């Protein structure tokens, strides 16, 4: 799903149980993330308003699914880094985020786990968690960013209207 599809702006619903349907959805999400060469992908990006995201293997982190994730901490010095999003092709935004993140979630095995990171994976968790809250990188744009991305955003809006 691409901007401005309304599913991307909706707050996603909790997952009641990690059943076969959820596991199949997660397999699809891994496949799409890999095809698009993203570091992460959230369920609303595949049109499902559920609190799930997946991340690709990165440094010491294996590829993993996060079901009903909960941010335990997002603190430390704020860092600025350019972020892109598979739902907003051609657009990148400098996003300010806390540099240290602790997250708790349910894995595909149904067990809760907890992780922390002060690098790119921590930032990825915040980006994907934003998707579950209905937030996109466009929500972090400065007026200058918005001006610079005006044409790309308009093209996406027109493509969405044509596809309806
Ligand atoms: Zn994204």
Tens of pLDDT along 142-154?
999 999 999 999 9
**129: CA distance to ligand 1 center in Å?**
9
Return the active site residues: 128
The percentage of residues in the chain with a pLDDT greater than 90, rounded to a whole number, is 99
Q: What is the mean pLDDT of residues 62-71?
A: 98
**113: CA distance to ligand 1 center in Å?**
23
pLDDT given at position 69: 98
**50: CA distance to ligand 1 center in Å?**
15
Give SS3 for 19. Answer: coil
Indicate the helix (H) or strand (E) that contains 97: strand 92-106
As a whole number of Å, the CA-based R_g of the chain is 16
Task: Confirm if 99 and 13 have CB atoms less than 8 A apart.
Answer: no
Q: How far apart are CA 10 and CA 49, in angstroms?
A: 7
What are 102-131's pLDDT values in tens digits? 999 999 999 999 999 999 999 999 999 999
Q: How far apart are CA 56 and CA 58, in angstroms?
A: 6
State phi, psi for 10 to the nearest 5 degrees: -95, 145
Right CATH for 6-78+98-137 from 1.10.10.60, 3.40.50.300, 3.90.45.10, 3.40.50.720: 3.90.45.10
Region for 41 from its dihedrals, namely left if φ exceeds 0, alpha if ψ lies in -120 to 50, beta otherwise = beta
pLDDT given at position 30: 98
**100: CA distance to ligand 1 center in Å?**
19
What are 47-64's pLDDT values in tens digits? 999 999 999 999 999 999
What are 71-98's pLDDT values in tens digits? 999 999 999 999 999 999 999 999 999 9
Task: Confirm if 53 and 41 have CB atoms less than 8 A apart.
Answer: yes
Q: How far apart are CA 128 and CA 116, in angstroms?
A: 15
């Amino acid at each position: 799903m691409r901007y401005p599809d309304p599913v991307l702006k909706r707050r996603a619903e909790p997952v009641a149980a990690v059943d076969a349907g959820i596991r199949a959805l997660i397999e699809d999400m891994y496949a799409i993330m890999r095809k698009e060469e993203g570091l992460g992908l959230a369920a609303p990006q595949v049109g499902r308003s559920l609190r799930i995201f997946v991340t690709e293997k990165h440094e010491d982190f294996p590829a993993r699914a996060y079901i009903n994730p909960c941010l335990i901490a997002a603190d430390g010095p704020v860092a600025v880094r350019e972020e892109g999003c598979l739902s907003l092709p051609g657009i990148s935004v400098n996003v300010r985020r806390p540099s240290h993140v602790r997250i708790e979630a349910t894995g595909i095995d149904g067990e809760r786990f907890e992780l922390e990171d002060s690098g790119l994976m921590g930032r990825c968790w915040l980006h994907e968690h934003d998707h579950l809250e209905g937030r996109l990188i466009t929500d972090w744009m400065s007026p200058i960013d918005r001006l610079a991305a005006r044409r790309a955003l308009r093209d996406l809006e027109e493509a969405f209207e044509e596809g309806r």
